[in-house]
């Protein structure tokens, strides 16, 4: 694409060649004025240059050829003088008029008609141009950008600033205070490096001044700064103010050379994420060119009805304002619009997915009331109301004639297993097969034992749901003849319930008639794995279970394609786990409690955030602490160690050892988190508790308090930082997983809840899944559109359909 100056040059050049016949632009040079002016303004060419050119071009048709020649020369002269005096941001990469004068004849055809023939199709295609073919992007820049995941022109438009420096709200150095996070402008007064720590590190120190005072800056190992920011360089530095020997200092600030235009062209300046091979200034210049040239051409895929009902900015405007905002207010609007787009597309995709799944047919599994009543009467307890509701919902799904697609969400210990068992019973009642998939062998084994117990029990009045030999466990440990037999029996239909790990989705596993798929701790599985298991049957019903409480706003967004059952009630008689936050110096008290509990025959977990210490030795780690605990603290006890670097078999062995009482204490990283049941464990000690999210801490806590004995959860943060302790104290106040999840979402964002369900989420650049307001609006609009036009086949939805396909292209194939 040509910049406005390049275009102008071409027009003038053509005119010269054609003896000033006013034919360079179809209909005359004056016809080019409106769009040229618009582009020139977008490009921020100097105002006086623009008005000069506009005036000259407008009078051009009325002039004699001789006058026209004069006119062309005047314009050239004006451009050149402008170039000499000011240097607009884009000028550096612009060819000067002299350079581009030699326009070839072969290029003529496109010249006169350049802007008007750019059809939507053309622009859409151009936006997919690979970066290295975009003008102004060098090979090295393209490579560096590709490392950041930016491969096309469109990616570049959506490569948003990490933050903005608002130069209108700068603080002078003499007004800075300890703790401020600021951007300061100044001139480098001195910069030097010296070796510290026996020559292991280079300390770079600089002093900048802005006339009101001086500020000291320091970095480690950034030796090249000394040359890059020599004395006299105008810089902007951003960072947090610290104190050293009674003086303010900025440690490891971001620093950048600035020039006058930067301050004048936009007071709010974008700061982009960088890699080593990119520099902020040239990247910003590239973005500026790209945005000014392309953002106005991007067609808006949002139907006008959506845009107007929510008063959303036009897409092109939103894009340019998100990069180079005119004001904070417009920036907010731009970000809102772009965030809305993302959630809206996500929602629309989710609705479409659900729609396509629901349009399939599934077998009906009806059971008589008496059957259900008998099964319930057989249980040693009465179901909670939440469990009853879940059973009813599943029962209704199974007779609906459409595949069930249900997420059963219930806190640890809420009793999901029995609900799943009843669902299994309803399907096997008709002789069909069921698969249950769990993320680890130990969990699969646990399900195998629990489900076998529930499903095979009988008394004088009722038959068991299944016979023991109809239930089989398949993990990677099951090999040889045993495996062969299981696979064979499965294929012939004599095995009705197969429980296992991802071994279930492997090729040789074939069902005779798979009709229900149950997946536990679903966030541990990728969408592809779930789909693979589902494909082993013919539109089987699907029940996924999770113990991770997910805030409602998020559940609707992420799992909008699943029907949601929340079990928000615990079976009666559970003792809440007594939770304490301990000061790091009170560790010995925790050890005493562990000793005391073990003396009563109980067991304990100790969790650490790290497997091994990092170089600085700052954080407690499993490997180091295991040795210390075993040698110095608990020499009299047997301690097991568990972490993610162990092989799966080793992990299972340690876990089984702990379950079977071989170890008194299990030290572990967070790998322990997922639903393992050791009712004899009564203490959960979590070191470095500040490094975990509340939802995750809650999962750890759920490992204890599973028996009838009183249990304890002890949280020790790395330091007694007040804020952390306040955050952790929420754990003391509530046992409600949803409350904690909600807090987590506010404090730490949605990362913890997404797990492997990434489809579409990698596309979220602007949206914050904690923003319930946007989520609600986007859902409403998506639903409206979907109701009107589920296939998006109306003409006003063509662009939207395209965009939707693009948005989901990475993550499609999920059919659950
Ligand atoms: P989770 O939801 O974590 O999978 P489980 O299904 O493992 O929970 O149930 C935890 C324990 O609670 C099990 O020992 C189970 O027998 C018991 N349980 C389930 N439902 C009830 C109930 N309604 N009343 C009493 N105990 C129950
Ligand atoms: Mg469970």
DSSP for 725-760, written as a single string? HHHHHHHHH---HHHHHHHHHHHH-THHHHTT--TT
Listed residue (691, 731, 694, 693) closest to 712, CA to CA: 731
377 plus 506 within the same structural domain = yes
Residue bearing the CA closest to ligand 1, atom 13: 415
Residues 61 and 150 in one domain: no
Please tell me the distance between residue 706's alpha carbon and the centre of ligand 1 in angstroms.
9
pLDDT at 58: 86
Distance between Cα 416 and ligand 2 center (Å)? 6
Ligand 2 centroid–CA 446 distance in Å is 9
- In degrees and rounded to multiples of 5, residue 70 shows phi and psi of -60, -45
Q: Do 63 and 195 lie in a common domain?
A: no
Q: Whole-angstrom Cα distance, residue 733 to residue 726?
A: 11
Token code pair at residue 740: 């904690």
Ligand with an atom nearest the CA of residue 385: 1
pLDDT in the model for residue 19: 81
| Domain-terminating residue out of 80, 98, 117 | 117
Distance CA 194, CA 372 (A): 79
Q: Residue with the nearest Cα to atom 19 of ligand 1? A: 415
**Ligand 1 pocket test: which of 411, 415, 416, 439 has the largest number of ligand atoms within 8 Å of its C-beta?**
415
pLDDT of residue 301: 93
**Long-range contact set of residues 353-356: C-beta below 8 Å, sequence gap at least 24:** 353/561, 353/814, 353/815, 354/405, 354/560, 354/561, 354/562, 355/786, 355/790, 356/815
Where helices occur in 608-715 by DSSP H, the ranges are 622-628, 648-659, 694-701
pLDDT at 463: 80
Q: How many CB atoms lie within 10 A of CB 771?
A: 16
Co-location of 687 and 613 in the same domain: yes
CB neighbour list of residue 561: distance below 8 Å, 6 or more residues apart: 350, 351, 353, 354, 357, 405, 816
Pocket of ligand 1 (CB under 6 A): 381, 383-384, 387, 410, 412-418, 547, 571
Kindly state whether residue 409 falls inside one of the protein's structural domains: no
**How far apart are the C-alpha atoms of 803 and 799, rounded to whole Å?**
6
Alpha-carbon distances, residue 652 vs 149, 397, 477, 648, 697 (angstroms): 38, 36, 11, 6, 22
CA–CA gap between residue 778 and residue 140 (Å, rounded): 39
Does residue 238 share a domain with residue 107? Answer: no
- What the block records as the tokens of 657 is 């050892």
Closest CA to 554 of 523, 578, 597, 583: 523
Q: Which residues contact 692 (CB under 8 A, 6 or more apart)?
A: 609, 670, 686, 700
Tokens of 572: 């009666």
- Indicate whether 304 belongs to any domain: no
**Bridge pairing between strands 639-642 and 234-244:** unpaired
- The CATH number of residue 139's host domain is 1.10.150
Residue 562 inside a domain? The answer is: no
The answer on 159 and 105 residing in a single domain is no
Compute the distance from residue 681 Cα to the ligand 2 centre, in Å. Answer: 16
> Could you tell me if 408 and 490 are in contact, meaning their C-beta atoms sit under 8 angstroms apart?
no
Contact (Cβ atoms closer than 8 angstroms) between residue 139 and residue 318: no
pTM > 0.85: no
Distances (CA, A) of 783 to 278, 282, 554, 650, 761: 42, 43, 17, 49, 19
Q: What domain range includes position 55?
A: 1-117
Which residues in 144-303 belong to E strands, given as ranges?
A: 163-166, 181-196, 201-209, 214-220, 234-244, 247-251, 254-257, 268-271
Tell me: do 519 and 626 sit in the same domain: no
The torsion angle over the Cα atoms of residues 700, 701, 707 and 710, rounded to 10 degrees, is: 150
Look at residue 814 in the predicted model and tell me its pLDDT.
36
- SS3 of 391-426: the string is HHHHHHHHCCCCCCEEEEEECCCCCHHHHHHHHHHH
Residue with CA closest to ligand 1 atom 16: 415
Helix 722-733 vs helix 737-748: crossing angle, to nearest 10 = 160
User: What ligand 1 atom has the least distance to the C-alpha of 383?
Assistant: 23
Which residue, among 507, 502, 501, 509, has the nearest Cα to 484 in the 3D structure? 509
Residue whose C-alpha is closest to residue 281's, from 268, 290, 294, 272: 272
Q: 733 C-alpha to center of ligand 1: Å?
A: 24
Shared domain for 293 and 198, answered yes or no, is: no
- Closest atom of ligand 1 to 410 CA is 2
Cα(762) to centroid(ligand 2), Å: 29
Q: What is the C-alpha to C-alpha distance for residues 730 and 248, in angstroms, rounded to an integer?
A: 35
- Which tokens go with 521? 């701790």
781 in a structural domain = no
Provide the edge-to-edge strand list for the sheet that holds 712-716. Answer: 578-581, 712-716, 681-687, 603-607, 665-668, 639-642
| Residues in contact with 109: Cβ distance below 8 Å, sequence separation at least 6, in sequence order | none
Phi and psi (nearest 5°) for 528?
-65, -40
DSSP conformation class of 138: -
Mean pLDDT per 10-residue section of the chain, whose length is 816 residues? 77 82 82 82 79 87 85 80 46 34 32 47 78 81 87 90 78 89 89 86 92 93 89 88 89 81 65 79 85 89 92 94 90 93 86 80 95 92 96 97 91 90 96 93 89 88 88 91 95 96 88 94 65 85 86 72 85 87 91 96 93 69 91 95 85 89 94 74 94 87 86 91 78 87 74 49 63 81 90 89 77 35
Which bound ligand lies closest to the C-alpha atom of 418? 1
The answer to whether the beta carbons of residues 726 and 781 sit under 8 Å apart is no
Q: How far is the CA of 800 from the centre of ligand 1 (A)?
A: 46
- Containing H/E element for 811? none
Residue 173 is classified by DSSP as: G
DSSP 629: I
Output the residue whose Cα is nearest ligand 1's atom 10. Answer: 413
Ligand 2 center from residue 412 Cα (angstroms): 7
Task: Answer whether residue 771 is part of any domain.
Answer: no
Q: Which residues surround the ion ligand 2 when the cut-off is CB under 5 Å?
A: 675
Number of domains observed in the structure of the chain: 5
- Plot region of 598 (φ>0 → left; ψ -120 to 50 → alpha; else → beta): alpha
Taking the centre of ligand 1 as the mean of its atom positions, its distance from the CA of residue 599, in whole angstroms, is 28
Ligand 1 atom closest to the Cα of residue 573 is 25
42 and 152 inside one domain: no
- How many whole angstroms separate alpha carbon 814 and alpha carbon 816? 6
Last residue of one domain, picked from the residues 705, 734, 763:
734
Asked if residue 308 is part of any domain, the answer here is no
In this structure, the answer to whether residues 392 and 538 fall within a common structural domain is yes
**Chain center to CA of 152:** 21
Same domain for 529 and 617? no
Residue to substitute in 549, 565, 571, 572 for testing ligand 1 pocket (most ligand atoms within 8 angstroms of CB): 571
Task: Classify residue 320: in a domain, yes or no.
Answer: no
User: Does residue 313 form part of some domain?
Assistant: no
Q: What is the pLDDT of residue 94?
A: 34
pLDDT of residue 300: 92
Q: What is the CATH number of the domain that holds 249?
A: 2.40.50.140
User: Which amino acid residue places its CA nearest to atom 18 of ligand 1?
Assistant: 415
Q: Between the CA of residue 609 and those of 618, 687, 740, what are the distances in Å?
A: 11, 7, 19
Same-domain pairing of 489 and 591 = no
- Residue 589 sits in a domain whose CATH number is 3.40.50.300
Q: Which residue's CA lies nearest to atom 9 of ligand 1? A: 415
């Amino acid at each position: 694409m040509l910049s406005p100056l390049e275009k102008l040059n071409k027009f003038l050049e053509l005119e010269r060649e054609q003896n000033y016949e006013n034919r360079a632009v179809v209909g005359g040079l004056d016809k080019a004025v409106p769009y040229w002016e618009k582009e020139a303004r977008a490009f921020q060419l100097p105002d006086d240059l623009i008005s000069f050119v506009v005036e000259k071009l407008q009078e051009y048709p009325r002039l004699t050829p001789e006058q026209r020649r004069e006119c062309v020369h005047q314009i050239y002269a004006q451009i050149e003088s402008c170039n000499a005096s000011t240097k607009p941001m884009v000028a550096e990469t612009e060819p000067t008029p002299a350079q581009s004068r030699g326009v070839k004849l072969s290029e003529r055809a496109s010249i006169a008609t350049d802007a008007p023939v750019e059809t939507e199709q053309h622009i859409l295609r151009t936006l997919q141009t690979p970066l290295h073919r975009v003008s102004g992007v060098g090979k090295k820049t393209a490579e560096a950008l590709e490392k950041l995941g930016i491969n096309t022109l469109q990616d570049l438009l959506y490569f948003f600033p990490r933050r903005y420096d608002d130069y209108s709200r700068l603080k002078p150095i003499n007004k800075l205070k300890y703790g401020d996070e600021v951007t300061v402008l100044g001139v480098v007064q001195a910069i030097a490096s010296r070796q510290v720590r026996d020559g292991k590190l280079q300390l770079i120190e600089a002093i900048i001044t802005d006339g009101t005072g001086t500020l000291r800056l320091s970095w480690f190992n950034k030796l090249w700064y000394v040359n890059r920011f020599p004395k006299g360089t105008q810089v902007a530095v951003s960072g947090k103010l610290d104190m050293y020997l009674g003086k303010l200092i900025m440690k490891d600030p971001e620093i950048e050379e600035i020039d006058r235009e930067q301050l004048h062209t936009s007071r709010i300046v974008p700061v982009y994420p960088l890699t080593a091979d990119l520099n902020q200034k040239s990247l910003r210049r590239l973005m500026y060119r790209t945005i000014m040239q392309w953002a106005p051409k991007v067609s808006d895929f949002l139907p006008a009805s959506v845009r107007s009902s929510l008063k959303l900015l036009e897409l092109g405007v939103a894009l340019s304002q998100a990069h180079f905002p005119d004001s904070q207010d417009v920036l907010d609007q731009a970000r809102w619009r772009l965030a809305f787009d993302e959630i809206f597309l996500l929602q629309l995709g989710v609705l479409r997915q659900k729609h396509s799944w629901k349009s399939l047919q599934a077998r009906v599994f009806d059971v008589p009331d008496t059957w259900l009543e008998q099964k319930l009467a057989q249980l040693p307890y009465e179901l909670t109301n939440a469990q009853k509701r879940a059973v009813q919902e599943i029962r209704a799904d199974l007779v609906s004639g459409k595949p069930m697609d249900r997420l059963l969400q219930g806190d640890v210990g809420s009793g999901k297993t029995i609900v799943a068992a009843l669902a299994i019973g309803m399907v096997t009642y008709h002789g069909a097969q069921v698969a249950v998939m769990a993320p680890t062998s130990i969990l699969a084994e646990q399900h195998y034992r629990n489900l076998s117990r529930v499903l095979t029990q009988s008394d004088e009045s009722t038959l068991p749901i299944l016979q023991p030999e109809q239930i089989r466990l398949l993990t990677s440990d099951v090999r040889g003849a045993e495996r062969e037999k299981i696979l064979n029996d499965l294929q012939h239909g004599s095995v009705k319930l197969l429980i296992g790990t991802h071994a279930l989705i492997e090729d040789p596993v074939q069902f005779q008639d798979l009709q229900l798929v149950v997946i536990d701790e679903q966030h541990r599985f990728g969408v592809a794995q779930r789909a693979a298991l589902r494909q082993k049957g013919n539109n089987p019903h699907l029940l996924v279970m999770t113990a991770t409480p997910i805030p409602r706003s998020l559940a609707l967004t992420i799992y909008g394609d699943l029907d949601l059952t929340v079990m928000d009630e615990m079976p009666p008689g559970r003792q809440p786990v007594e939770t304490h936050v301990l000061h790091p110096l009170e560790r010995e008290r925790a050890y005493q409690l562990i000793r005391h509990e073990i003396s009563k025959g109980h067991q304990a977990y100790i969790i650490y955030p790290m497997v091994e210490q990092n170089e600085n030795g700052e954080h407690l780690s499993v490997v180091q602490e295991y040795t210390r605990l075993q040698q110095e603290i608990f020499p009299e006890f047997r301690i097991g160690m568990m972490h993610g670097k162990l092989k799966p078999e080793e992990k299972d062995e340690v876990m089984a050892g702990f379950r079977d009482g071989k170890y008194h204490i299990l030290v572990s990283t967070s790998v322990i988190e997922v639903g393992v049941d050791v009712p004899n464990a009564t203490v959960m000690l979590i070191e470095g508790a500040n490094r975990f999210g509340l939802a995750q801490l809650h999962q750890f806590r759920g490992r204890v308090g599973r028996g009838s004995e009183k249990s304890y959860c002890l949280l020790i943060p790395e330091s007694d930082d007040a804020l952390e302790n306040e955050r952790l104290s929420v754990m003391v106040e509530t046992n409600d997983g949803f409350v904690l999840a909600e807090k987590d979402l506010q404090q730490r964002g949605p990362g913890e809840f997404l797990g492997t369900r990434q489809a579409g989420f990698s596309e979220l650049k602007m949206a914050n899944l904690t923003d319930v307001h946007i989520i609600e609006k986007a859902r409403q609009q998506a639903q409206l559109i979907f109701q009107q036009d589920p296939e998006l086949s109306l003409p006003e939805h063509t662009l939207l359909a395209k965009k939707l396909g693009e948005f989901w292209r990475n993550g499609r194939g999920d059919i659950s």
